[in-house]
Amino acid sequence: MATAGLAIGIGNVWRFPYMMGSHGGSAFLVLFIACVVFLSLPALMAEWALARQTRQGTIGAFMATFGPVYGRLIGYALLLCVTIAGGYYLVVIGNVFYSGYFSVLHGFSVQTTADFKAGLSDNRLQLFLALLILSASAFIILRGIKSGIEFVSNLFVPFFFLVSFYLIYKVLNLPGATTHLSVFLQVDFSKIGFTEVFAAMGQAYFSIGLGATLTLIYGSYLRDDIKLPKLAVMTCVSDTGAALLAALYLIPALLVFGMDLTAGPTLLFETLPGLFSILPGGRLFGSLMLTALFLVTLLSYVAVLEAVVGGLQGDSDIIRFSKTRLLVILGVIQALLAVFFTLRPELIGIADLLFGSAGMMIGGCLALLALAWAIGRAETVRQVFGGRYKLLSTVYFFWIKWVAPAILIIVLSGTLYEVVTG
């Protein structure tokens, strides 16, 4: 539940529907699933193997594989990326909390739209909510792995799935919903270019929490007797299932009422309130969806804080603060970033592509290289497969050593070329 809670979050309900709507529709969905199976799943096992082998977070793991100089440089750069991502993520989660609160208390309608938008644009309110969520996340971390992270994960994750199944049932019973969904799901690969492939790969990495930060710190806590392939498959299925479930109730509902799927990052806070205002039973629908989303996004943000603090503790030669002091320092930094993104919300989408997609893909590529080239085949096979499945182990190691890094590098380079050349 904890690894599922790390993976399931904003990436599934906020990010996935608008990425799908903006980058090729159902063709993006096919690409995303392919990226999860052929890239995210092997990479997740690799990052956990690297973490369990070194028993370190980001900085310690890369210092153990690339040496103290390059390892520190890579580790701090990746933690900087996830710290910045945490800053805008905190603002988005605050908006989710506010939206859920507003839906429960007032509901969305023509009469309440102005009040809702006024609350979203109230910088002081948004900052207060961000700080409240930051404090709650820090409290969960200080409670420890079992009493904090695992305890809340066991409550929040099942609730999210139960709500999702209920919402799918309600939406697919709307007149014309299944027809609209079947038309939308007709695959058109002519819409696919490097940008769309990059978006699908970035979503697969962002959604599951890859990038040698979040998964590394959780992996360092895994017992030696836990089978990584089984846990990785369960985590990827949970995460992908959550994204598909969200798409199955959001996309048909939006299409039935003729709303814009390409709204981008504003989909959740501008388009969906309009949907809830005209959807039959929209107040209950919106309240359940936003409450469930808030709970799982909180788990993902807990993972962000844990990854940064745990990663910094791995550099004991430089960082000699206790976990509590590191949390306070990180909290101040996160608060300052929240102030910035509260004042400049239009930059969240750009920051998300840079630090959410590109940063995580680069970090994930470096993790594969660290495991395959520095740790080596024998220890990789032992960590992932326990020394069994010789043929599968050989194929897997070849894949993470040569094929997966090459795919990541080619797509990143191709996307950069498309951006530069227009």
Mean pLDDT of the chain, nearest integer: 91
314 vs 72: CA distance, rounded Å: 10
66 vs 306: CA distance, rounded Å: 23
Question: Which pLDDT tens digit goes with each residue over 185-215?
Answer: 889 888 888 788 888 888 888 788 899 999 9
98 vs 102: CA distance, rounded Å: 6
410 vs 294: CA distance, rounded Å: 36
What is the predicted pLDDT for the residue at 282?
92
* Most confident by average pLDDT, 217-231, 244-258, 351-365: 217-231
What is the predicted pLDDT for the residue at 234?
95
Closest CA to 366 of 50, 28, 35: 50
Residue 419 has pLDDT above 70, yes or no: no
Q: In the numeric block, which tokens belong to residue 2?
A: 């904890």
Task: State what percent of residues in the chain have pLDDT above 90.
Answer: 67
Say which DSSP state 321 is in.
-
Closest CA to 286 of 179, 163, 391, 173: 163
Question: Which pLDDT tens digit goes with each residue over 215-243?
Answer: 999 999 999 999 999 999 999 999 999 98
Residue 43 has pLDDT above 70, yes or no: yes
Residue 372 has pLDDT above 90, yes or no: yes
Closest CA to 57 of 414, 282, 311: 311
Mean pLDDT for 83-100 is 94
Q: In the numeric block, which tokens belong to residue 89?
A: 């993520």
Question: How big is the chain, counted in residues?
Answer: 422
Question: Which pLDDT tens digit goes with each residue over 252-292?
Answer: 998 898 887 776 667 788 888 988 999 989 999 999 999 99
Q: In the numeric block, which tokens belong to residue 64?
A: 């153990």
Q: In the numeric block, which tokens belong to residue 17?
A: 């529907």
Q: In the numeric block, which tokens belong to residue 419?
A: 């951006």
Mean pLDDT for 44-59 is 96
Residue 11 has pLDDT above 80, yes or no: no
